[in-house]
Structure 1
Amino acid sequence: MRKNIIQMAKGKRQKGKIFKYKCVIISAVFITAAISPSSQAVSISSNAGTSSAQFLKLEMGGRHAAMGGTYAAYGHDVFTLWGQPAALAVAPSAWQIGFQHTEWFQGVSQEYAGITSELGAKGRVGLVVNTVAVDNLLRTTENANGQLAAVGGTFASRDIGISLHYGVKMNEYLSVGGAIRYITSELDNVKADAVAGDIGVRMDVRDIEGLTIGLAVTNLGTGLKYLNQRNDLPWAIRGGGAYRIPKLNLLLAADVVKFADRDVDAGAGAEWSPIEMLKLRAGYRTQGRDVGEGLTAGVGFNFSGLELDYAYVPFGPLGESHRISAGYLFGGGRASDSELFSSPETNSVVRTKESSRNVSSNVTEPRTSRTPQPIRDRLEIK
């Protein structure tokens, strides 16, 4: 498998195998990490390495990475909508922007930028650009003995995804969203492109206060065509739940996901806010890793609408990744929805349903016995 990942060949016959070379350059970072070559107990999926554009699998934002790669049922910033378009429907401000930089291992870097805006009374629209690049890859070929040999020179690989998102709140409990994405991939001098779509839904559970569930189907598209060979995109079906405990300033989340080229994976995470501006996070994800390699951790800070998040994600012998993301909500508010929200007018934190009655006479009840508000622990200012 490793040979298929890194080998570059000459001639017309070998050009037809461009996808295999592509698969391993990006797959060496993502698929190989996911199936954990260091774990001898792992059973590698028979579909491993059969799809292209592996960067589409990655969760965005330091928050989600630190919480075990979960995001199906919580979060509503520019990072969440990459894999759950329904998140856009409940964004807490009219405008928000976000940026992420990731230093992966083996010379792979990633840049992500997004912006969202209101569109009509209930809808919101978002635009995202996501790029992954690998530079200075050694050019090799297979010799007569079946071994890899350097032929001199280096080459680069670059993937770009540009997507347009739309989310709408159907009622106070249900949100839906969709996205259309253009994908372009370049390996050395060979280019390919594809078009894909996402669809997602989220629902606050009426009978269980604090519980939200979510489902998303992503990367359904045409596939990337390298020369004369078309290869499928890594479509995914993701479902999960998030449970908020306001009295403890605690968020718990868990996701299950099935990728086209991999067996079912799972992740879980927690976020705790000891003080209003600070969030501590930890999580665990499976994906065939040894126990220690599945652990994730991170921290987040909030300053008047500015969110700064960091995540540490180990990948065993392949190395480790550090993700830094930043988002800003114009007009205040918070990108995170796990903590209890404060009212800009009163600058007071609403900690329980009972205490909210004393915050301000201008603040409406967050919930009533007849008409519960969506489980966001946010107040609406009249």
Structure 2
Amino acid sequence: MMRRIGVWGIGFCLAAFLSPLFGSDSGTTGANFLKIGVGARGLAMGEAYSAKGKGVEALYWNPANLVDMGRPELMISHNPMVENTSLNQLALAFHRGKFGVGLGMSLISHGTIKRFDGGGNRIGSFDASDQFGVVGFAYGGEGFRLGLAGKWFKSEIAGISADGMAGDVGMSFLSPLSSRIRHAFVARNFGSSVSFINQEDDLPLTFLFGNAVSIGTGFSFTLDVGSIKGPGAVVASGIEWKPLNKGSDHLAFRGGYNTRRNEAEKLSGASLGMGLTFFETSIDYAWVPFGELGDSHSVTLLWHIPHWSFRIRDQLENRKRLTPKMRESKTSTKKTPPRSPFEGLSGAVLITLRDGQRVLGIVVPSDQKDVIIIETDEGKVKIPKTRISKVKRYIERRKHNLGTLK
């Protein structure tokens, strides 16, 4: 418990003291697309998602929560943003025991941008795009988790490109006050500066202290506080309500507010969204306004990959653990009794002789001519000639006494 309290205190102090440190560096960062949130659920909750985001979504919010998933997850996201800018993203994550791994690729297109000369005359157009890939690793359990993610990014404008690398590190842990409260600390986009043409800018380094509170099975609240190099101090909050929550199927409504987006209009800091989960698939939507620039409508499809997709791998691993003797007993099958030669006949009788021995007899249709009579002290039984050899072998194996054959 003391360890958790210490980590909680360190995270809060770092988030509080680093906010004023970067608050005055407005407009001095490059690769600002690294600040864009990925996934409609987190966007709808005001981007207050560092403690709440889990599974494949955690790859972009807090890599420590990569271990928090039941099945492997595949996420596809499309976010048409303002001024012809759109974000398309694909990510996959899975875990084994206390280890979690995720990888993803994102492409940001800014469309065609018009070019003008000094007099305001249009002289053509050019294309601009950004792309980045991320690989994340996590280790831990329910109480405490650690995660690390590495990013590679590239920006291209009018045929001129620049690239670089960045990293994220995060932790996530249960509160000492209640198991329904989770805290998180994450540092995003740390690394060297990025150079573009003759300008060199720092990355948008971000420090956040996150909190998530669950109330019952239907409500959850989130709060992130910290700083982003450029915008400065930031406070984000979110809420999620699940009026329908039955097993793995649920319907959710979400809302949030982020002070980083409220510069133009107060409403631009708000966000709304909803989500539907059924048949191991989640579909999430988020509406995020940006004032006079327009609105963003993000849609995310998240598929919880069924276990049967990994059944062959699990069977191979289980087979390796078996000793030769165990493997032989596991693969052996029970011997089935030989097929009875009496199949297809009209019936059968069991005759008991006076000396206590038993005889199997067969009843055949009366119109069948080619038969052999088995005579006993109790009566006669007819057997077709075509079956007499099979019957003799069958009864001999079972050590039955037939009496006299005629």
Distance 1:216 1:84 in 2: 6
RMSD between superposed Cα atoms in Å: 1.6
Partner residue, 2:284: 309
Contact map agreement 1:285 1:294 (CA 8 A) in 2: yes
Distance 1:313 1:279 in 2: 17
Partner residue, 1:154: 125
Percent identity reads 28
Q: Is 2:230 aligned against 1:261?
A: yes
Distance 1:222 1:194 in 2: 8
Q: Match for 1:101 among 75, 78, 82?
A: 78
**What amino acid maps onto 1:69 in structure 2?**
E
Q: Match for 1:52 among 27, 30, 38?
A: 30
Following superposition, the deviation at residue 165 of structure 1 comes to: 0.4
Partner residue, 2:41: 63
**What amino acid maps onto 1:321 in structure 2?**
S
Number of residue-to-residue matches in the alignment: 279
Which blocks of at least 5 consecutive residues in structure 2 are unaligned?
1-22, 308-406
Partner residue, 1:133: 109
Following superposition, the deviation at residue 180 of structure 1 comes to: 0.8
Following superposition, the deviation at residue 229 of structure 1 comes to: 3.3
Partner residue, 1:211: 181
**What amino acid maps onto 1:101 in structure 2?**
H
Greater length-normalized contact order (CA 8 Å, ≥ 6 residues apart): 1
Distance 1:209 1:77 in 2: 19
Following superposition, the deviation at residue 48 of structure 1 comes to: 2.6
Which blocks of at least 5 consecutive residues in structure 1 are unaligned?
1-44, 144-148, 333-382
Distance 1:230 1:90 in 2: 38
Q: Is 2:252 aligned against 1:283?
A: no
Q: Match for 1:234 among 204, 225, 238?
A: 204
Superposition TM-score, scaled by structure 1 size: 0.70
The 3-state SS of whatever aligns with 2:107 is strand
Following superposition, the deviation at residue 161 of structure 1 comes to: 0.9
Q: Match for 2:137 among 156, 162, 166?
A: 166
Distance 1:242 1:181 in 2: 26
Equivalences for 1:1-382 in 2 at 5 Å?
Answer: 46-93=24-71, 95-118=72-95, 120-143=96-119, 149-169=120-140, 171-246=141-216, 249-276=218-245, 277-287=250-260, 288-289=262-263, 290-331=265-306
Distance 2:111 2:121 in 1: 16
Partner residue, 1:346: none
Superposition TM-score, scaled by structure 2 size: 0.66
Contact map agreement 1:112 1:129 (CA 8 A) in 2: yes
Distance 1:271 1:57 in 2: 23
Contact map agreement 1:61 1:80 (CA 8 A) in 2: no
Following superposition, the deviation at residue 219 of structure 1 comes to: 0.6
The 3-state SS of whatever aligns with 2:33 is helix
The 3-state SS of whatever aligns with 1:218 is strand
**What amino acid maps onto 2:304 in structure 1?**
L
Following superposition, the deviation at residue 284 of structure 1 comes to: 1.3
